[in-house]
Structure 1
Amino acid sequence: MAKIGITTYLMLVMCTSMIFSTAPAQCQGDFQGLIQQCSRFVQQPGPQQAPSQGCCCNIIRNVDLPCVCQHVNSQVEKIFSMQKAAFVSASCGKPLARGTKCGTYTVP
């Protein structure tokens, strides 16, 4: 399993703070955990891969992903793939509904 460096982690935290500055007030979930346990599965670039049990069980199943998707902006999409995010969500047994908009990505 690849580990992310401190610089990459800080960049992720800064970028996701843009999306999560309003999302936590409106959406349910552990947003710090989302960054820590799930970000490596949705980063650009890189292969699509199945998420860890920690990401699925501890985070994805308890986050209101459709709500979070409403707060995704272009800066977030430069770092995170919304297609991978939809894949991770589905892999965790919590698929996003067809037609859900997550940033500029629409779930097929």
Structure 2
Amino acid sequence: MAMVSVQADDGCNNDIANLVNECKQFVLFPANPKIPPSDACCGVVQKVNIPCLCNKVDGRIEQMLCMEKVVYVAGYCKRPLAPGSKCGSKFFFM
């Protein structure tokens, strides 16, 4: 059983690494302008475990990432956050 949870965590960590590599330029501060993400970024967004990633967002990450841009990129890539969902310390009602 422990092996499964380690693999699931590793998968989420791999998602983070892939997102950083492909999407960081589209989600960093400042909040504007919002730049449409690349096809490569959207390809990664389509595959990631969003709830797992949102659980890993902490205050340190929120200082680097513009959560408004994260929501924009997710929506642009056709993986919008569900209304009322929580990512890090923020709730989204879009």
Q: How many residues were matched structurally?
A: 85
How far off is 1:82 after superposition? Answer: 1.3
Look at both structures and tell me which one has the larger radius of gyration over its CA atoms: 2
Q: Does 1:49 align with 2:47?
A: no
How far off is 1:48 after superposition? Answer: 1.6
Unaligned runs of 5+ in 2: 1-7
Counterpart among 72, 84, 88 of residue 99 in structure 1:
84
Runs of 4 or more off by more than 4 Å in structure 1? Answer: none
Equivalent AA in structure 2 for residue 54 of structure 1: A
* Cα contact 2:15–2:49 (8 A) shared by 1: no
Cα shift readout 1:41-85 (whole Å, capped 9, x = no counterpart) = 11011422211111002x100101122011111110111011211
Question: TM-score by structure 2 length?
Answer: 0.78
Could you tell me how far apart the structure 2 residues matched to 1:24 and 1:51 are?
Answer: 26
Question: TM-score by structure 1 length?
Answer: 0.69
Structure 1 residues 28 and 90 mapped into 2: Cα distance closer, same or farther (>3 Å)?
Answer: farther
